[in-house]
Amino acid sequence: QVQLMESGGGLVQAGKSLKLSCAASGNVAGLWRMGWYRQAPGKERELVANIMFGIDRRTNYADSVKGRFTISWDNAVNTLFLQMNSLKPEDTAVYYCNFVHTLSTMTYWGQGTQVTVSA
């Protein structure tokens, strides 16, 4: 079992920055993929960015956030980060941290953290 604890959400002005954190605990050994997803009112949950823990820490970003957001993993504190720069009102959503064991496909989700960007 994997536990995910998110923090860092809040209310910010457009053009500013925010950094989300997701502390992971439990069975985080082996091959895994982690990511950030978001869901805005009336919209489906969508992938924001993910990272594959393998030979290379390959990353993938939604087109809407490329060049603005950066996903990273810190082994020292077992924490996933999402650095969000140049925030737009369209980025307003509940952001969820996700963990997937690539072999078993077992999936875990954080509780979500609200990000609100004012114009």
Render pLDDT for 16-65 as a digit per residue (tens, 0 to 9).
999 999 999 998 877 889 999 999 999 999 999 999 987 678 999 999 99
Task: Check the CA dihedral 87-90-93-98 and report its sign.
Answer: negative
| Separation between Cα atoms, residue 31 and residue 86, nearest integer Å | 32
DSSP 90: G
Contact status, residue 22 vs residue 80, Cβ threshold 8 Å: yes
Which of 73, 66, 65, 75 lies closest to 95, judged by CA?
65
Q: Determine the pLDDT at residue 89.
A: 98
- Examine the pLDDT at 14 and tell me if it is beyond 90: yes
**Range list of β-strands (E), the chain:** 2-7, 10-13, 18-26, 32-39, 46-53, 57-61, 69-74, 79-84, 93-101, 107-109, 113-118
Per-residue pLDDT, 55: 67
> Which of the two residues, 3 and 56, has the higher pLDDT score?
3
Please, are residues 115 and 14 in contact by the beta-carbon 8 Å criterion? Answer: no
| Percent of the chain whose pLDDT exceeds 90 | 85
Average pLDDT, the chain: 94
Q: What's the rounded Cα separation, in Å, for the pair 32 and 113?
A: 22
